[in-house]
Amino acid sequence: MQSVIDRFIRYVKIDTQSIHKSTTYPSTEKQLNLGRLLVDELKELGLEDAEMDRFGYVTATQPANTQRPGVPVIGFLAHMDTSPDLSGENVTPQFIENYDGGIITLNAEKGIFMDPEEFPDLKKYIGKTLITTDGTTLLGADDKAGIAEIMAAVEYLLEHPEIPHGTIKIGFTPDEEVGAGVDHFDVAAFGADFAYTVDGGEIGEIQYENFNAAGAELIIHGRNVHPGKSKLKMRNALLIGMELNELLPIFERPEHTEHYEGFYHLFQFGGSVEEASMTYIIRDHDRTKFEEKKNLLTKAVEFINAKCGEQIIDLKIEDQYYNMREQIAPYPQIMDTAIRAIQAVGITPKIDPVRGGTDGSRLSYMGLPTPNLFTGGHYGHGKYEFIPTFAMEKAVEVLVKIAELIAQS
């Protein structure tokens, strides 16, 4: 049996970075390189129906090995793309064996280090083996760790037919990081009664709540006049954008929030005196507070337009996804099975809200209840991303145990 670690290292070396505002699906052709490899590997394992469709979705079926009637069909899913936030090209993983709790050198030449005083999660893994970046790229544990863990679990179940399990549907999706992961996913054809995404963080995490999410795009129309002759004439679009941002609550920004606290996140701002653009994401777990946040941004735009006496800011707000709790809560057995599986392999479950999005959110609203399981990774989307090897191995055990428990329920 190939180790989950070997699979992970192989997958992260394939660049699958997605991009925003693409005119194609998936957003980058290179994601299909990993998809083709996964199809080949699934077929090598004996999953004869493994395929990648025209949208880049990789699917396969692991047939049941039990004759027990009424066993639900479950799905395990992970996404193939990595974040646009940092390069995923030429990823060079580093192994920190028997971590001693000190500062980790990611890249001595560039002076890039990880200090446990700044990254306190490191302190949880003293004595463990960590996989880190070399400081020049992200690692890709989000979510190639999830892919590797699912593949390793499939292989383990095939090699251990004494472990009963029902039919298991496997799905690997593109473009999750740009919010389009299941835009063309056919839930009915997938054929699962419920599923789990393997796209979480710290060991033991299981999540069935996520943000309600919206994206806001603003275009600010300024008026450029020679600065020496501009009194009462110039309208600086950049300064107007800064004024608008100051109308939003300072302590409802990502850097000041945690747990169930929502936020406004200005993540793109650029342009000139003549015209500027701003892009926000708006997040809140509570649907009422989510609507209030969108309304406040709308009122801020209306205030500045009224102040200027004309519409100089155009605003477009679009909802992106909603809190999956509303769709998963009616099926408590899905969460209960995952919790029992995590406990059975000697881990304490950690039920935390997702402070972000997941394919599982949209899938749940498409009729496939899909909570999220841990991969073991930390600090995704950047050069400080790392994952403990033992956490990946435990994730494989959890997937195997979930399949077993469902077959026995």
Q: In sequence order, what E strands does 222-274 have? A: 263-271
Catalytic residue among 41, 155, 176, 205: 176
Angle at 191 between CA 186 and CA 193, to 5 degrees: 115
Peptide bond into 81 cis (omega under 30): no
Other C-beta atoms closer than 10 Å to the C-beta of 25 total 13
Q: Quote the tokens at residue 173.
A: 């999706």
Instruction: Tell me if residue 81 is catalytic.
Output: yes
Q: 45: Cβ–Cβ under 8 A, 6 or more apart, which residues? A: 151, 154, 155, 158
Rounded to a whole number, what is the distance in angstroms from the first to the last CA of the chain? 28
Question: Of the candidates 406, 356, 350, which has an alpha carbon nearest to the alpha carbon of residue 374?
Answer: 350
Largest Cα–Cα separation, the chain: 85
CB-based contact 175:181 (threshold 8 Å): yes
Left, alpha or beta for 379 (phi > 0: left; psi -120 to 50: alpha)? left
Question: Of the candidates 216, 204, 313, which has an alpha carbon nearest to the alpha carbon of residue 267?
Answer: 216
Question: Of the candidates 34, 329, 358, which has an alpha carbon nearest to the alpha carbon of residue 172?
Answer: 34
Q: 352: Cβ–Cβ under 8 A, 6 or more apart, which residues? A: 205, 207, 259
What's the CA gap between 342 and 205, in Å, rounded?
Answer: 9
Question: Of the candidates 336, 333, 343, 335, which has an alpha carbon nearest to the alpha carbon of residue 394?
Answer: 343
Peptide bond into 26 cis (omega under 30): yes
Catalytic residue among 15, 41, 81, 199: 81
Instruction: Tell me if residue 193 is catalytic.
Output: no
Active site (catalytic) residues = 81, 176
